[in-house]
Amino acid sequence: MGQTIVEKVARNHMAEGPGDRALAAGDFVTIRPRHVLTHDNSAPVMKKFKAIGATRVLDPSQPVFALDHDIQNTSDENLAKYGAIEAFARNQGIDFYPAGTGIGHQVMIEAQYAVPGSFVVASDSHANMYGGVGAVGTPVVRTDAAAIWATGTFWWQIPRTVQVVLRTSSWRSADSTTRARC
C-alpha cells in the first residue's frame, strides 16, 4: 500500500512498532527522533528528568537547547535558571545556544538539525515549521522530552494525512506571492 511521507519517515525512525507490515494512520509506534529541541522549558524538563531518577542523557547529540522565550528578563531568578540550563548542557555534552542566538525553531533550521526526511521534535507547538525544509517536525510535551533524554525515544500515533495542493493560475513570481492564513 502506498505510504504518505509521515508513514515513511516514521518508519525510518521507528524503534518499536508493527514490523511486519506498512505503517498506517492510527498505528502506535515508538520513535527515535533525530533531535529534540527544548528552550526555556529545558528547566522543567530537567526537573522531570531528575524525578524519573535518570542521571545521564542517553544520546547527548540528540537534544538541542536554545534559550529564546524570556531573554529580556535579567532578574537574578531568570539568570540563575538560564545558568542552570547551560550547566546541565555542558555537563551532559548537549549543544547549547545561549539567549540572543535566536529563536529555537530558527536555530534548528540554520544549524541544520532539521533536514529533509528527518523526524525532529520540540517541546513547543511550532515544531511543524521544520516541514518547510522537508523534515517531519512535530510537537511533544515536556514529559516526552524527559523520556527522550533518558531513553532516546518517545511514543507516537501515526496521524491521518491531508494533502494540500497548491496551484498557481497566473504568471506571478515568487516575490509577489503573499501568504494566506487558513
Q: Which 79-98 positions form the footprint of other proteins (CB under 8 A)? A: none
Which residues inside 122-181 make contact with other proteins, applying CB under 8 A?
Answer: 125-141, 143-144, 146-147, 150-151, 154-155, 157-170, 172-174, 177-181
CA-to-CA dists, residue 29 to 25, 79, 87, 102, angstroms: 11, 39, 33, 33
Q: Is 75 in the site for other proteins (CB under 8 A)?
A: no
CB of 70 to other proteins, least distance (A): 5
CB of 24 to other proteins, least distance (A): 7
Report which DSSP code applies to 100: T
Contact pick of 43, 44, 70, 92 for other proteins (by CB under 8 A): 70
Phi, psi of 85, deg, nearest 5: -65, -45
Contact pick of 19, 20, 21, 26 for other proteins (by CB under 8 A): 26
Angle of helix 76-92 relative to helix 42-52, nearest 10 degrees? Answer: 60
Gap between the Cα atoms of 71 and 79, Å rounded:
9
Q: Is 6 in the site for other proteins (CB under 8 A)?
A: yes
